[in-house]
Amino acid sequence: MFETVITLDQFLQASIDTLYMVGMSLLIGSLVGIPLGIALVVTRPGGILENKIFYSILNPIINIVRSLPFIILMVAIIPFTRMIVGTSIGTNAAIVPLIIFISPFIARLVENSLLEVNPGIIEAAESMGATPFQIIWHFLLPEAFGSLILSITTATIGLIGATAMAGTVGGGGVGDLAIVYGYQRFDTFAMVTTVIILVIFVQIIQSTGNALARKARKE
């Protein structure tokens, strides 16, 4: 029905590359973004570790990075990427801008999740003489856990979109296939297949996230 030059191996490799880029940047992005999100909540005015200077520096930095579209961010930081991984082409090179893109996004999502926690819970924690670390660990995080899972789910799906864009500069992955074969060589089969693969990825991630969040909320 369709004429295509792509092999099944290429699809498999592209899917693995996408998962690798999403997985790595999600992992490192969460390690950076979650603490930043917590920092935003605790240092904000009225927070348990209120710190005007820290907050008024961190908050705009996150806004600035968040205001750059991924495709521009990716190109803009090429010198930095080269410095870190030695090249600006390939899967590993794509991970650097992906991390810079997703970390502040995760930070904002985490901030929102944590702000949803009933302030009464924090007051109860303070009345028990909990330290700021104990408040975060024993009260804030467990109470926001379901919401945090949904936040990470949203971030993951955002990353899948961004990895597809990374394909345009030779990042590899499913997006790369769609651009190189589907778009530049008019290979409709490649285009349709990549779309289907992306849809399946997103569906699986969203339903897994929803299920985990429900479980965390003991529903």
Partner 1 sequence: MIEMKSVYKTYKRKDVTTEALKGIDLKVEEGDIFGVIGYSGAGKSTLVRLVNYLERPTDGEVIVDGQVLNHLSDSQLRAMKKQIGMIFQHFNLLESKTIFDNVAIPLVLAKKPKEEIKQRVMELLDFVGLREKAKSYPRELSGGQKQRVGIARALASNPKILLCDEATSALDPQTTQSILQLLKRVNQEYNITIMIITHEMSVIQEVCNRVAVMEAGEIIEEGSVLDVFGHPKHPTTKNFVKTVIHNSIPESVKRSLKKTGNSKVFRVEVKGEVASEPIVHQVMKAHDIEVNILFANMTEIQETTLVIMYLQIAGEASAIEKTVQLLKDKGAGVEEVVE
**Residue ranges binding partner 1 (CB under 8 A):** 118, 120-121, 123-124, 126-131, 134, 138-139, 142-143, 145-146, 216-218
By C-alpha distance, which of 101, 95, 105, 98 is closest to 37? 105
CB of 57 to partner 1, least distance (A): 22
| Residue nearer to partner 1 on the CB measure, 105 or 139 | 139
CB of 138 to partner 1, least distance (A): 7
Instruction: State which residue, 7 or 218, has the beta carbon closest to partner 1.
Output: 218
Q: Which one, 54 or 143, has the nearer CB to partner 1?
A: 143
Question: Of the two residues 50 and 123, which places its CB atom closer to partner 1 in the complex?
Answer: 123
> Which of 161, 30, 203, 15 has the alpha carbon at shortest distance from 102?
30
Least CB distance to partner 1 at residue 218 (A): 5
Nearer to partner 1, 28 or 143 (CB): 143
CA distance 99 to 102: 5
Nearest-approach distance from CB 52 to partner 1, in angstroms: 15
178 vs 6: CA distance, rounded Å: 11
For the chain, report the end-to-end CA distance as a whole number of angstroms: 47
Distance CA 24, CA 45 (A): 34
Helices (H) and strands (E) in the chain, counts: 10, 0
**Among residues 127 and 184, whose Cβ is nearest to partner 1?**
127
Least Cβ distance, residue 214 to partner 1 (angstroms): 13
Which amino acid is located at 146 in the chain? G
Positive or negative CA dihedral for 162, 168, 169, 173?
positive
Q: How far is the CB of 144 from partner 1 (least distance, A)?
A: 9
List the one residue out of 124, 145, 160 whose CA is nearest residue 34: 145
C-alpha span between 7 and 187 (Å, rounded): 13
